[in-house]
Amino acid sequence: MNTDVYVSITPMAEPAPGCTAELERLGDEIAELSAHLDAATARLLELIREFDARAGWNTGFRSCAEWLSWRVGLDRGAARERVRVARALAVLPRLAQALARGELSYAKVRALTRVATPDTEERLLAVGRAGTAEHVERIVRGWRRVDRLAEAQETARRHKSRALHVYQDEDGMVVIRGRLAPEVGAVVIQALTAAREALYHKAHAQNVPAGTSGADVSTEPPTMPQQQADALALVAETALHHGIDPGAPGERYQVVVHVDAPVLADADAPGQSVLDDGAHVSAETSQRLACDASRVVMRHDPDGRILEVGARTRTIPPALRRALHHRDRGCRFPGCGLRFGQGHHIRHWAHGGPTTLSNLALLCRRHHRAVHEEGYQVERQPDGELRFRRPDGRPLPESPPLPAVPSDPVGMLRARHEECGLDVHARTAMPGWLGERLDVGWAIDVLHPLAATHGRGTPASRAH
């Protein structure tokens, strides 16, 4: 097969004599307007920071970035970055002011906030002022390498210090003392909690002293440390019994809710919803848990004895679930789109709603809670589209209309900046760079507080 390649060469455009002055003016106008936009961005970030801090986005959205993406149409990554920079600038007043005066571009500030701390802000601001955006980017990358090196060394040091000492005391008791990595410690704590609950809550419910054999007639309830000791024994016995097999993630944790049938259909109906250990959950919560879950139907007689146990059924069969994922592609709540979700019955199966594609909508865990427990409503309209409403009944559109913009937004920006006494001109954001070569390694050695101690050699040895 032949492939023809056409190469077109665009000659360098040489401005005709006489145009030069005009083009210079055009260039100045671009530079000036850019500085105005950066100054306005500083204001925008301030507003975002306040909105974020006061949780103005917490009206059904999972984060400030998600709200921004929904409200002003930013892509997800850009929205997250705005929120990150807005938060970072809260403790970096010098960088914030340089942006607000139009002296430092948003691109430079964005890069610098990835590494700046109140201690290093001053030095990094000097980097931002002196260098081009590309220099700043390269210095920030070098800076992060040093930060990461320091962090990796710290993590390695902590990991190295992990230990578990088991020894026998003089009186024959076994003493255990240890240091575990945080994530390992979390698993151990969870296991101890589960074991303690298994030993003591069940026993409490049956009113029998637990963790003890029948021979032990002590009536004093065990203290927390005593309960922990019994729990550890149960964890060890269980581990040995199961051949030390962690099992599949899905089997590790299961919630069982006992719920009276009328409550599933009507949250106000008399009846109860309780977890296995006796803890009560709200009727709304049990409706959500039942909305997309394996369930076992048990019938009880008035005294609570089980009369009949139905088959364990999965309310949404696998083929239907695949179709649901294929159709919805993620959470359908406006502005969300999270890929993993649960099948929500628009009309609950306890109300006779069928488990069919048209009665199902994919919702993430956060938004499944929003519709069951926080009063948000969703309905399918005759044309098949979903319509969400806020708890007060106002509609929640897929994406809201953008506000009208004045006919001369640039003039408005200029006027507002003049009003604040801001003097922005074509050279406001000009770097101090005069064309010399940038030695990133040397710059980091001189600037980064940890650089000298992390194997680069002292600044003095490389300065020339």
| Alpha helices, H only, 207-356 | 224-241, 249-252, 261-265, 283-291, 318-328
Query: Which range binds Zn ion by CB under 5 A, 44-52, 204-212, 287-295, 302-310?
Result: 287-295
Torsion on CA atoms 231, 232, 233, 235, rounded to nearest 10: 90
Q: Judged by CB, which is closer to Zn ion: 79, or 331?
A: 331
Instruction: Please pick, from the candidates 49, 108, 344, 456, the single residue that binds Zn ion as defined by CB under 5 A.
Output: 344
> Whole-angstrom Cα distance, residue 150 to residue 132?
27
Q: Judged by CB, which is closer to Zn ion: 196, or 367?
A: 367
> Whole-angstrom Cα distance, residue 341 to residue 288?
13
Q: Least Å distance between CB 271 and Zn ion? A: 19
Q: Least Å distance between CB 49 and Zn ion? A: 24
Is 367 a binding residue for Zn ion by CB under 5 A? The answer is: yes
Is 65 a binding residue for Zn ion by CB under 5 A? The answer is: no
> Whole-angstrom Cα distance, residue 239 to residue 247?
11
Is there a contact between 163 and 178 (Cβ–Cβ < 8 Å)? yes
Q: Count the Cβ atoms, other than its own, within 10 Å of residue 391.
A: 12
Token representation of residue 268: 């106000």
Query: Which range binds Zn ion by CB under 5 A, 26-34, 107-115, 218-226, 358-366?
Result: 358-366
Distances in Å between the Cα of 420 and the Cα atoms of 29, 40, 252, 396, 430 are: 20, 12, 60, 37, 21
Query: Which range binds Zn ion by CB under 5 A, 193-201, 363-371, 406-414, 416-424?
Result: 363-371
Is 316 a binding residue for Zn ion by CB under 5 A? The answer is: no
- Residues with Cβ within 8 Å of 118's Cβ and at least 6 positions away in sequence, in order, are 91, 92
Q: Judged by CB, which is closer to Zn ion: 192, or 360?
A: 360
CA–chain centroid gap for 76, Å, is 12
Q: Judged by CB, which is closer to Zn ion: 338, or 450?
A: 338
Is 364 a binding residue for Zn ion by CB under 5 A? The answer is: yes
Is 336 a binding residue for Zn ion by CB under 5 A? The answer is: yes
Token representation of residue 376: 């948000």
Q: Least Å distance between CB 454 and Zn ion? A: 42
> Whole-angstrom Cα distance, residue 79 to residue 73?
9
> Whole-angstrom Cα distance, residue 63 to residue 91?
21
| # residues contacting Zn ion (CB under 5 A) | 8
Is 112 a binding residue for Zn ion by CB under 5 A? The answer is: no
Of residues 386 through 415, those in contact with Zn ion by CB under 5 A are none
Is 417 a binding residue for Zn ion by CB under 5 A? The answer is: no
Instruction: Please pick, from the candidates 57, 61, 67, 333, the single residue that binds Zn ion as defined by CB under 5 A.
Output: 333
- Please report where in the chains the tokens 């026993």 appear, as a residue: 203
Is 331 a binding residue for Zn ion by CB under 5 A? The answer is: yes
Is there a contact between 292 and 364 (Cβ–Cβ < 8 Å)? no
Q: Judged by CB, which is closer to Zn ion: 69, or 113?
A: 69
Q: Least Å distance between CB 237 and Zn ion? A: 39
Is 291 a binding residue for Zn ion by CB under 5 A? The answer is: yes
Q: Least Å distance between CB 330 and Zn ion? A: 8
Strand partners, 343: 362
Query: Which range binds Zn ion by CB under 5 A, 16-24, 89-97, 338-346, 410-418?
Result: 338-346
Q: Least Å distance between CB 351 and Zn ion? A: 12
Is 324 a binding residue for Zn ion by CB under 5 A? The answer is: no
Q: Least Å distance between CB 341 and Zn ion? A: 7
Q: Count the Cβ atoms, other than its own, within 10 Å of residue 347.
A: 13
* Residue 400 CA neighbour count, 13 Å, CB half: 12
Is 370 a binding residue for Zn ion by CB under 5 A? The answer is: no
Query: Which range binds Zn ion by CB under 5 A, 68-76, 129-137, 216-224, 364-372?
Result: 364-372
Q: Judged by CB, which is closer to Zn ion: 133, or 338?
A: 338
Distances in Å between the Cα of 109 and the Cα atoms of 19, 21, 113, 137, 428 are: 35, 32, 6, 10, 15
Q: Judged by CB, which is closer to Zn ion: 125, or 364?
A: 364
| Alpha helices, H only, 257-394 | 261-265, 283-291, 318-328, 365-373
- List of residues contacting Zn ion (CB under 5 A): 291, 331, 333, 336, 338, 344, 364, 367
